[in-house]
Chain A
Amino acid sequence: MRQIDPDVVAAFPITPQTELMHKFAEHVADGDVKSEFVLVESEHSAMSASVGAAAAGARAMTATSANGLALMWEIVYIAASCRLPIVMPVINRALSGPINIHCDHSDTMGCRDSGWIQLYSESAQEVYDNILQAIRIAEHPDVLLPAMVTFDGFIISHTAEVLDALEDGEAREWVGTWTPNYSLLNTDDPVTYGPLDLQDYYFEHKRQQIEGMNHAPRVIKEIGEAYGKLSGRSYGLIEAYRTDDAERIIVALGSTCGTSKVVVDELRDEGEAVGLLKIRAFRPFDEEAVAAALSGAKAVGILDRSVSFGAPGGPVHKEVKSALYGGGKTPPVVDFIYGLGGRDINREHIRGVFEELKPVADAGRTPDQNIRYVGLRG
């Protein structure tokens, strides 16, 4: 964020997002950035002020977690419907109740249908890379939608990692300057933002917004490739890790992908045909690529770090299953709910998941008990 030097940053403290804003506040205090730093009285106002700032033509950013995101929820939708390219890091944390400050994905999964682009990050490196890319994706004229870059609370937000950063000049050139088509500050050509939009136009406006999201997969790929040329680290919507000839594949988001890759490597060394499908962009969801990466598997295990109460499995499970439907060969799928409220997930757990997929692969069909729990006592 220091390198992006946004015009306006609005912030309200909430764990585990606080560290990010503390650091940014230091940059403001030292004069490293030109940003107007608005220390609001709530997340609702943080998102509201971001909407006002973006509508006034500023590059606006904020950050949040968990209940803060829930409090923003109403305005999260409005930001997207006004087509304002706000970029927001969300440090994933369990939603109350009961209150819990540690990681799961219930917060961002709760606004997966809000019209925001969602990029999940595996490591601190990816957080950095994703934020720089998110600015370009959100502001792309074919997209014009806000973007959240999510990363796992405490696991990534509060741990030290070695990071390859661009030079300040390179980063500045990469993000470029932002000149929106419409600004509240252009009083010679006044515009009305957020009008009352009744049954005669609302539907068409939603359709246009869908079109923006439909362009996002192409734009995410193009920007991921361009970023690769600059940094040496390319990105797509998904990352298929050793899946080509894999019989058992697990699907995951966020920091668990790092642990999973280690386990995949270990099992591969032991001669087992396993792989990982990492979902980087959960919104937009690349149905085709997901189906293509999984269609050769004999069993698929989904790692879901949130619950969709009353639904047949967690959010990732439902998306993946729906992607597989109608694609010809549909491997059996088992959902593994894990890590709620920060419950640790380690290599042994992931080995266990691959182990549980063995009989599923052998049987060749989805078992009766297709929702399971990892690391749950009792």
Chain B
Amino acid sequence: MPGVKQLAGREEMMAPGHRACAGCLPMTAIRQILLTAGKDTVCGCATGCVEVVTSIYPYTAWRTPFIHNAFENSAATISGAEAAYQSLRRQGKVDKDIKFIAFGGDGGTYDIGLQSLSGAMERGHNMLYVCYDNEAYMNTGIQRSGGTPKGTATSTTPVGKVRPGKQEYAKALTDIMIAHNIPYVGQATAGYPKDLSDKVEKALTIEGPAFMNVLAPCTRGWRYPMEESMEIARLAVDTCFWPLYEVENGVFRVTRKPKEKKPVAEWLKKQGRFRHLFKEENKHIIDDIQSQVDENWDWLLKREEMTRSEAS
């Protein structure tokens, strides 16, 4: 696994001058992922922030081959490119090792693109799908997605007189992908770059389909000062709201266990989108979120223990 120093010495595959907001962690994540993947990588991206800020014609920030098709079909598009590679390689028309990565935001992955993702994983293409999860449809104006946490204020789940933000918990996408029984599933964040890079390296080395869910805070949508992106991403991990773990052929491994598990309120209070939760009448929502975080974390540790002992 390459170290951070090694990665820093590699050729940047994401050109500077793209139009992402300052403090955009999705772009930081993609930069880190491409440093790990290297130039012989075909990338695809669903319609969304990343596609919009990196590919405004006649400019492109992609130094790897890149394709954007539509909102819901990043996985299907890259599975077609990968199929072409398999075919042309078999015919001796291509002789180099090429990797395939499909990107999608949480809207393009949890929601409209879930079918295409599920199909591509089930078919066993040798590709990595990365969901850059900024927990809402940021590109279209911060609307709730299936990945938006309970209690969040978004433009379609605003805080009103009778509804204090989003009513539902986020969909357990990583678990859904684990249930596909693919060789590799990882959960990471741009806030812990070494962990992210190690997982990408593994996902691209393992033969077959791999999925990674990467928490990527959005300064605009989450309502925090842009210089706090990394800190907020790390706090999501340290509160166990976003555990870092991987599942390799069914065996769970938690890659970061916080020495001191911080209360989730510490993560929530840093973000304007949760401000209303700290009013007296909404505090029970924070308790709900905390109890779900605790439950998920305990279940994760249990699964790690169970699958590891089975595997050994």
A interface with B by C-beta (< 8 Å)? 7-8, 10, 34-36, 38-42, 44-45, 48-58, 60, 74-75, 78, 183-187, 190-198, 201
A-side contacts of B72, CB under 8 Å:
44
Given known contacts A42-B119, A60-B84, A186-B65, is B57 in contact with A195 (CB within 8 Å)? yes
A-side contacts of B98, CB under 8 Å:
185, 187
How big is the B interface, by class? 35 or more
Give the residue name and chain of the B residue nearest to A189 (CB): B65
Of the stretches B36-44, B231-239, B258-266, B273-281, the one at the interface is B36-44
Of the stretches B48-56, B160-168, B201-209, B283-291, the one at the interface is B48-56
Interface residue B67 (Cβ < 8 Å from any Cβ of A):
yes
12 contacts between A and B (CB under 8 A): A7-B91, A8-B84, A38-B80, A45-B79, A45-B115, A51-B77, A52-B76, A52-B80, A75-B73, A185-B94, A187-B64, A190-B65
9 tightest A-B CB contacts, nearest first:
A52-B80, A49-B80, A41-B119, A58-B84, A56-B84, A48-B76, A48-B73, A45-B76, A195-B55
Contact A196 B69 (CB under 8 A): no
Interface centre among B82, B84, B85 (most CB of A within 10 A): B84
A36 partner, pick from B41, B78, B86, beta carbons under 8 A: B86
Contact A45 B85 (CB under 8 A): no
The complex places the Cα of A8 from the Cα of B78 at a distance, in Å, of 13
Contact A48 B40 (CB under 8 A): no
Interface centre among A44, A45, A74 (most CB of B within 10 A): A45
Interface residue B122 (Cβ < 8 Å from any Cβ of A):
yes
Interface residue B254 (Cβ < 8 Å from any Cβ of A):
no
B-side contacts of A184, CB under 8 Å:
42, 65-67, 81, 84
Contact B63 A190 (CB under 8 A): yes
B79 partner, pick from A38, A44, A191, beta carbons under 8 A: A38
Contact A196 B62 (CB under 8 A): no
The complex places the Cα of A359 from the Cα of B76 at a distance, in Å, of 56
Contact A193 B80 (CB under 8 A): no
B-side contacts of A52, CB under 8 Å:
44, 67, 69, 76-84
A-side contacts of B65, CB under 8 Å:
183-187, 190-192
Contact B69 A56 (CB under 8 A): no
Interface centre among B52, B72, B119, B123 (most CB of A within 10 A): B119
Give the residue name and chain of the B residue nearest to A182 (CB): B65
Contact B83 A53 (CB under 8 A): yes
Residues 110-128 of B, flagged 1 when their CB comes within 8 A of A and 0 if not, give 0000011011101100000
